[in-house]
Amino acid sequence: MTEARIIKRSSLKDLIAVFLRIGVTSFGSPTAHIAMMEHEVVRKRGWITEEHFLEMLAATNLVPGPNATEMAMHIGYVQAGYLGLIVSGISFILPSFIATVAMAWLYIRYGSLPQTAAIFYVLNPLVLAIVINTVWSIGKTSLLGWQSVLIFGLALVSAFLGVDELIILLGSAILGLLLYHALTKPPEKVALSMFSLVPLPLLIPFLQQSANWLQSKVVQLFLYFLRTGAVLFGSALVLFPLVKDDVVTRFGWLSLPQLVDAIAVGQMTPGPVSSAVTFIGYMVAGMPGAIAATVGLFLPSFLIVMVLGPLLARMSKSKIAKAILKGVNAGVVAMLISIVITMGKNALVDAWTVLLLAGGLAGMFLLKLEPYWLVLAGITIGIATALL
């Protein structure tokens, strides 16, 4: 990294304070979290330049892991090395972890009471509106050109046919490399690039079955979400298409309505939406399960940033990496549509929930409301309904 782009160094104490505050006060999508980080570290504190911030953001999209969480780690790394990376990432995640554990405890203790049911009755359609808005936003930027539309179509058909989500992501990556990169490169260079992807399919059976080899649910949670964190690209909402079939059908950890509630909890609590895995882990194995699932999901991000942090600027200019990312993004849009359909089946139970969805969509698309306003509105209306 060049010193010219690092305007001012910060202490570990400053990093902890900044990212704890962002973790406590940031609701909604990763875009909102990243916007808060930009305001704090570029405009308010002047730690790094705008150009450097955008370079990190662009490169973050090229590697697995929740974008906002990895941005916190990258900022910590350029400010205070590997120790800064660790404390920044933990500080951003910790408030969400604590809030999600509290929500999971309340859910288990009071989940069957009408008051809690009333909150989720109102909240789930509004969270569905947030997800639809995210899918629309991602789709507008991802589905550009016939290549991405083709990949999207194939991925959508595969999702409806029940093809494993990891296979869809890997296939989208390979198609992206072929369609975006092969057209401009000699065949031998493309073959060499493809050869680098050959080991990935061989790892899928191991990654999928590893959690079955050990009986401990805590170990299963850690291994399963470790695998998930290693293939999670972009928005944290991509997490739910990845885990839906396994969590509900294969392992039987949660029912489908409970998984939809986990998505809602991820929106209700501050910090990364990915912390909904904390809710899943707590539902399955209490506090040890919450810790195992959370550490498993975020550990790949810490390791990836540690290894690739110094190379981010170079990766953001890689044509091969960009081609793979374009393919993955198109596949992700298709997978998100599948989770929208699943959420809709569980959230839209009558005319009132349909009206709530319509109101949420109007707020997101017409009034340009931030997601946390819908979450706060859902909680408020739900509590009022329960009391009345």
Specify the pTM: 0.68
Residue 61 DSSP code: T
Query: Helix 371-387 crosses helix 256-268 at what angle (to 10 degrees)?
Result: 120
For residue 285, pLDDT over 80 is answered with: yes
The domain locations on the chain are: 3-387
Q: pLDDT digit string (tens) for 117-140?
A: 787 788 888 878 877 887 787 788
Q: pLDDT digit string (tens) for 39-92?
A: 788 878 888 887 777 667 766 766 777 878 888 999 999 898 899 999 999 999
**How many angstroms separate the CA atoms of 130 and 135, rounded?**
9
Least trusted range by pLDDT, from 111-115, 123-127, 143-147? 111-115
Instruction: Select from 146, 134, 172, 174 the least CA-distant residue to 328.
Output: 172
Average pLDDT over residues 295-316: 80
3-state helix, strand, coil in the chain (%, to 5): 85, 0, 15
